Amino acid sequence: MRGLSKRVQALKPSSTVAMNAKALELRRQGVDVIALTAGEPDFDTPEHIKEAAWRALKEGKTKYTPPAGIPELREALARKFARENGLSYTPDQITVGVGGKGVLYNLFQAILDPGDEVILIAPYWVSYAAQVELAGGVPVVVKTEAEAGFVPDPEAVAAAVTPRTKALVVNSPNNPTGAVYPEEVLRALAELAQKHDFYLVSDEIYEHLIYEGTHFSPGRVAPEHTITVNGVAKTYAMTGWRLGYAAGPKDVIQAMTKIQGQSVTHPTSFVQWAVIEALESEKSLEFIRMAREAFDRRRRLVVEGLRALGLKTPEPKGAFYVMPDVTPIHEDELKAGEILLERARVAVVPGTDFKAPGHVRMSYATSEENLKEALRRIGELLG
Ligand SMILES: *Cc1c(COP(=O)(O)O)cnc(C)c1O
């Protein structure tokens, strides 16, 4: 009998992708919309990385690779983890995938049985909940407060642990809030994973975009329990290249690779070669510095601008998002998002699917000119 699976019927389309599409559609109709919806850097991929991909193509690196990724890339990643994160992984503890998203998908498929619980710290990136549910798992949500800068209280997380807890996901710097968790919070969460023997999934994709504070990898505290997930999309402006990676206990990494071997096989061969260049070239460091400075300027501009308009705005310390309280526009953030789009022609993502009621996510990965105009339009709406 024809019909779609219950699994896919329960799956919600990504709200960030949907809002972006709505803004693009309005723009296509000639409406001048400023989109603050994008979850990607507005910079182009650095030239030296593109050249490395082109070189790999010319050298015929166009065939199947091992499902865990080429050994040269996994060796470069082992060096990266040691150099930047103080983590010691051997290449056989590392797997690459089709974006950080693809890696997380493989991970939840590899560790979850139906009914297993995964603790998510809200507001959270929407794909965690969707991917956990696709694997038969049950998301358990622990809230954080805007007043606390959206940093979790480890005791509140501990209170959510049950005998069915299989994993806890942490994402610092955070999408959608921009929170950077202090080292002591990450240490406490890693110790919790050890104490109750569950996995700590640490999504570190924004590690290089920190404006206040420093990055800490909880895998340093609990190496047997942590799966460190990362990717090149945000650091090197390579969202479309689709390459992510993970490191952790060998059995988990091998299981993830097994799933990949039966699904997408591996990320694109010449992209893997280009990523070695991204990880190891001095030029990448210059690019990261440039991007970080630009994002930091925009961050200050947006936070000051929103506060001056009377919208309560916790200061983001990393990534490129800000989450103002939009209840002065409308109590319901979905309505507030509609009003912002229709009356101010500014597209944002309502906090609903992030579990951030009363808030919207604005991305400041766009020009200062666009940001100033967006603030002017919101000011007009509020005035
Ligand atoms: C962007 C993002 C990812 C992964 O992105 P890919 O493009 O799939 O590499 C993972 N986690 C968070 C929180 C993100 O914002």
* Per-residue H/E/C for 61-92: CCCCCCCCCCHHHHHHHHHHHHHHHCCCCCHH
CA of 114 to the centre of ligand 1 (A): 25
Residue 125 Cβ inside 6 Å of ligand 1? The answer reads yes
φ/ψ of 201, rounded to 5, equals: -95, 115
Q: Specify the residue for token string 């609990």.
A: 222
Cβ of 101 less than 6 Å from ligand 1: yes
* Closest Cα to atom 10 of ligand 1: 100
Q: Residue 191 is encoded by which pair of tokens? A: 């110790």
Q: From the alpha carbon of 319, which atom of ligand 1 is closest?
A: 15
Three-state secondary structure string covering 88-124? CCCHHHEEEECHHHHHHHHHHHHHCCCCCEEEEEECC
16: its two tokens? 């960030």
Residue 270's SS3 state is helix
**Start-end ranges of CATH 3.40.640.10 in the chain?**
63-281
Of ligand 1's listed atoms, the one at least distance from the Cα of 101 is 8
Please give the CATH topology (third level) of the domain spanning 6-45+284-382.
Aspartate Aminotransferase, domain 1 (3.90.1150)
- Ligand 1 in reach of 233 Cβ (< 6 A): yes
CA of 30 relative to ligand 1 center, distance in Å: 30
Q: Is ligand 1 within 6 A of the CB of residue 244? A: yes
Specify the residue with its C-alpha closest to ligand 1, atom 5: 100
CA–CA dist 21, 206 (Å, integer)? 24
Question: Relative to the CA of 203, which ligand 1 atom is closest?
Answer: 11
Tell me how far the alpha carbon of residue 101 lies from the centroid of ligand 1, in angstroms.
6
Residue with structure tokens 């007043």? 147
Out of 205, 232, 320, give the residue to mutate to test ligand 1, the one with the largest number of ligand atoms within 8 Å of its CB.
205
CA 340/CA 381 separation, integer angstroms: 8
What is residue 210's predicted lDDT score, i.e. its pLDDT?
Answer: 98
**d(CA 380, ligand 1 centre) in Å:** 34
pLDDT tens, the chain, 383 aa long: 999 999 999 888 777 777 778 888 888 999 999 999 988 999 999 999 999 999 999 999 999 999 999 999 999 999 999 999 999 999 999 999 999 999 999 999 999 999 999 999 999 999 999 999 999 999 999 999 999 999 999 999 999 999 999 999 999 999 999 999 999 999 999 999 999 999 999 999 999 999 999 999 999 999 999 999 999 999 999 999 999 999 999 999 999 999 999 999 999 999 999 999 999 999 999 999 999 999 999 999 999 999 999 999 999 999 999 999 999 999 999 999 999 998 999 999 999 999 999 999 999 999 999 999 999 999 999 98
Site to substitute for ligand 1 among 124, 125, 126, 150, most atoms within 8 A of C-beta: 125
Q: How far is the CA of 38 from the centre of ligand 1 (A)?
A: 12
- What ligand 1 atom has the least distance to the C-alpha of 239? 7
Cα–Cα distance, 20 to 22 (Å, whole number)? 5
- Does the beta carbon of 39 sit less than 6 angstroms from any atom of ligand 1? yes
User: What's the pLDDT at 112?
Assistant: 98
Burial class (CB in 10 A: 0-12, 13-18, 19+), 308: exposed
Q: Whose CA is nearest to atom 3 of ligand 1?
A: 100
Burial of residue 372 (CB within 10 Å: 0-12, 13-18, 19+) is middle
Q: How far apart are CA 150 and CA 179, in angstroms?
A: 6
Q: What is the CATH number of domain 63-281?
A: 3.40.640.10
> What is this structure's pTM?
0.97
What separation in angstroms does the CA of 166 have from each of 72, 115, 226, 253? Answer: 32, 10, 12, 16
Angle at 346 between CA 340 and CA 348, to 5 degrees: 80
If we measure between CA atoms, which residue out of 29, 2, 7, 15 comes closest to residue 342?
29
Which residues of the chain does CATH 3.90.1150.10 include? 6-45+284-382
Decide: 36 and 20 in contact? Cβ < 8 Å. Answer: no
Its sign, for the CA torsion 4, 20, 100, 121, is negative
Q: In whole angstroms, what is the distance from residue 80 CA to residue 88 CA?
A: 10
Residue 48 Cα to ligand 1 midpoint, Å, equals 23
For position 25, what pLDDT does the model report? 87
Name the amino acid, one letter, at 173: P
As beta bridge partners, residue 200 has 168, 226
